[in-house]
């Protein structure tokens, strides 16, 4: 068996060489992978270093599991370790617990940064360990904002706090598949019994639960049964219960009857803290300047997964090109993202005029929409002209028509006038000139 797994891993590594499209990444992270331990259906792989471990866990775990499972002909799970010997947390006994629960022991509260945007969800999660238990809890938030992390963190804490209780993390996709399986093998009662014994059920990605009546019905039965027995259910979804339109009405209202808690779009301050936290966690040998943190966050402010992806990209190139203990500033980041190889994963650093406009507007405390309208007060016109100028500087290839288009379809002569106006103002007034240059540099 061990030999089979090793051979399968070698094959997969080779096939990834072409498909991952990044030779340096492949030789640094994928190629050094080795089988460390095999325990039941879990394979522990050794990674080159902690950074590689984190990247692989986040971005390649699923791929490796899928490919290994298909080449071995049975479902296997993959874990990563930096150490030659399995450490305490990776001991066989913790393997087994985690295996039966599907809980990922990387996603813990210690690594979950709490800010204004997720405070309510965090409090609701913690309430499960206090006196006032809300049940069910329905966490609702956009993609990459920490719902899955939070569910696993609850699971990990629950496992530690109540070792005798049974818990399960499942995605609606996995659940739907196991219901299909049970229906075809006539074991639906067993499946229901299994789910009805869990003291804590963490149900992720509710929005993907199959809309087949039968699956809905089985889920609904389990859901009601568990709640009536005071078993805890925490659900996560990127849709609010009322927008889960493919569910029937009673199910939606049942979801909504619990505590529905939003995770909103993170604010810049929280994102900065998260980024600093992640940098420390992954690689402590680089020092990022405050401006640099701000710069990265402003460009990756949609979700935390995107921010993490961007950081991985930066650290990967930083560790290849800059000596340890380097100070990483905006200039270094710009350099990293000018490498052609980083192009296909140019997270958040794409050509995005809207982002530029938004940042100029932030400086002037003006909502971007106003610039697209007809308003021509002196202040608004100035902001609009500055935006046009900054756009042209940032994206020299952007046509005048396209620039005008970004401001409610102004024609190209207006754009030329604006560019001239700002140029001459910058010449006449040195401090204005410095301000604009500085602004361009920061964006
Ligand atoms: P979702 O399930 O909402 O799509 P995830 O839970 O998968 O999002 O989070 C995406 C990534 O961002 C994960 O790697 C997770 O660890 C990280 N993350 C999300 N929220 C936080 C947080 N508050 N603190 C630290 N990391 C976070
Ligand atoms: Mg998720």
Per-residue confidence (pLDDT) for residue 89, from 0 to 100: 43
| Ligand found nearest the CA of 153 | 1
Per-residue confidence (pLDDT) for residue 301, from 0 to 100: 86
| Ligand found nearest the CA of 146 | 1
| Ligand found nearest the CA of 262 | 1
Span from the CA of 144 to the centroid of ligand 2 (angstroms): 7
Per-residue confidence (pLDDT) for residue 233, from 0 to 100: 96
Per-residue confidence (pLDDT) for residue 344, from 0 to 100: 41
Measured in whole angstroms, the distance separating CA 264 from the mean position of its chain's CA atoms is 14
Task: Identify which of 55, 144, 266, 312 to mutate to test ligand 1's pocket (most ligand atoms within 8 A of the CB).
Answer: 144
Measured in whole angstroms, the distance separating CA 11 from the mean position of its chain's CA atoms is 29
User: Atom 6 (ligand 1): residue with closest C-alpha?
Assistant: 146
Ligand 1, closest atom to CA 106?
Answer: 16
Ligand 1, closest atom to CA 204?
Answer: 2
Q: Following DSSP, what letter does each residue of 268-312 receive, concatenated?
A: HHHHHHHHHHHHHHH-TT-EE-HHHHHHHHHHS-S-HHHHHHHHH
Per-residue confidence (pLDDT) for residue 356, from 0 to 100: 85
Q: Which residue in 305, 248, 239 sits closest to 278, CA to CA?
A: 305
Per-residue confidence (pLDDT) for residue 85, from 0 to 100: 61
Task: Identify which of 173, 206, 266, 304 to mutate to test ligand 1's pocket (most ligand atoms within 8 A of the CB).
Answer: 304
Per-residue confidence (pLDDT) for residue 361, from 0 to 100: 92
How many angstroms separate the CA atoms of 418 and 390, rounded? 11
How many angstroms separate the CA atoms of 43 and 77, rounded? 6
In the structure, which protein residues have their CB atom closer than 6 angstroms to any atom of ligand 1?
Answer: 58, 107, 111-113, 118, 141, 143-149, 274, 304-305, 308
Question: Which of helix, strand or coil describes residue 329?
Answer: coil
Per-residue confidence (pLDDT) for residue 283, from 0 to 100: 78
- Average pLDDT of each block of 10 consecutive residues along the chain (443 residues)? 88 86 80 89 86 80 89 88 59 44 92 96 94 89 96 95 93 93 94 95 93 88 95 96 86 88 95 95 88 90 90 86 88 77 46 80 90 87 95 84 90 94 95 92 80
User: Atom 16 (ligand 1): residue with closest C-alpha?
Assistant: 149
User: Atom 18 (ligand 1): residue with closest C-alpha?
Assistant: 146
- pTM confidence score: 0.68
How many angstroms separate the CA atoms of 142 and 125, rounded? 18
Per-residue confidence (pLDDT) for residue 351, from 0 to 100: 57
Span from the CA of 259 to the centroid of ligand 1 (angstroms): 21
How many angstroms separate the CA atoms of 50 and 384, rounded? 47
Span from the CA of 215 to the centroid of ligand 2 (angstroms): 21
């Amino acid at each position: 068996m061990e030999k089979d797994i090793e051979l399968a891993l070698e094959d997969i590594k080779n096939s990834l060489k072409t498909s991952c499209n990044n030779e340096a990444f492949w030789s640094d992270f994928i190629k050094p992978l080795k089988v460390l331990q095999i325990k039941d259906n879990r394979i522990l792989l050794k990674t080159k270093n902690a950074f590689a471990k984190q990247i692989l866990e986040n971005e390649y775990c699923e791929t490796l599991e899928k490919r290994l499972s298909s080449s071995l002909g049975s479902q296997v799970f993959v874990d990563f370790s930096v150490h030659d010997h399995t450490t305490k947390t990776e001991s066989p006994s913790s393997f087994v617990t985690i295996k039966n629960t599907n809980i990922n022991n990387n996603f813990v509260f210690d690594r979950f940064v709490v800010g204004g945007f997720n405070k309510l969800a965090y409090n609701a999660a913690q309430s499960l360990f206090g006196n006032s238990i809300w049940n069910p809890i329905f966490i609702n938030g956009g993609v990459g904002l920490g719902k899955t992390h939070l569910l696993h963190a609850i699971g990990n804490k629950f496992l530690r706090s109540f070792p005798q209780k049974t818990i399960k993390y499942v995605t609606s996709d996995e659940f739907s598949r196991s219901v299909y399986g049970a229906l075809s093998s006539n074991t639906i009662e067993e499946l229901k019994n299994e789910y009805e014994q869990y003291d804590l059920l963490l149900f992720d990605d509710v929005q993907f639960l199959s809309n087949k009546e039968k699956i809905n019905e089985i889920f609904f039965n389990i859901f009601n049964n568990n709640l009536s027995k005071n078993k805890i259910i925490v659900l996560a979804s990127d849709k609010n219960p009322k927008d889960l339109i493919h569910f029937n009405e009673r199910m939606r209202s049942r979801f909504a009857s619990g505590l529905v808690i939003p995770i909103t779009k993170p604010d810049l301050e929280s994102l900065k803290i998260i980024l600093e936290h992640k940098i420390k966690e992954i690689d402590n040998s680089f020092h990022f300047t405050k401006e640099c943190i701000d710069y990265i966050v402003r460009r990756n402010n949609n979700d935390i997964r995107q921010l993490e992806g961007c950081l991985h990209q930066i650290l990967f190139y930083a560790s290849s090109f800059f000596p340890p203990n380097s100070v990483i500033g905006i200039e270094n980041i710009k350099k990293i993202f000018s490498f052609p190889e980083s192009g296909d994963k140019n997270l958040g650093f794409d050509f995005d005029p809207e982002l530029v406009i938004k940042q100029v507007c932030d400086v002037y405390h003006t909502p971007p929409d106003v610039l697209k309208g007809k308003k021509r007060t002196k202040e608004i016109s100035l902001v609009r002209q500055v935006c046009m100028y900054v756009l042209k500087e940032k994206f020299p290839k952007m046509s005048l028509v396209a620039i005008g288009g970004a401001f409610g379809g102004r024609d190209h002569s207006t754009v030329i006038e604006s560019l001239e106006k700002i140029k001459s103002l910058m010449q006449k007034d040195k401090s204005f000139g410095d301000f604009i240059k500085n602004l361009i540099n920061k964006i």
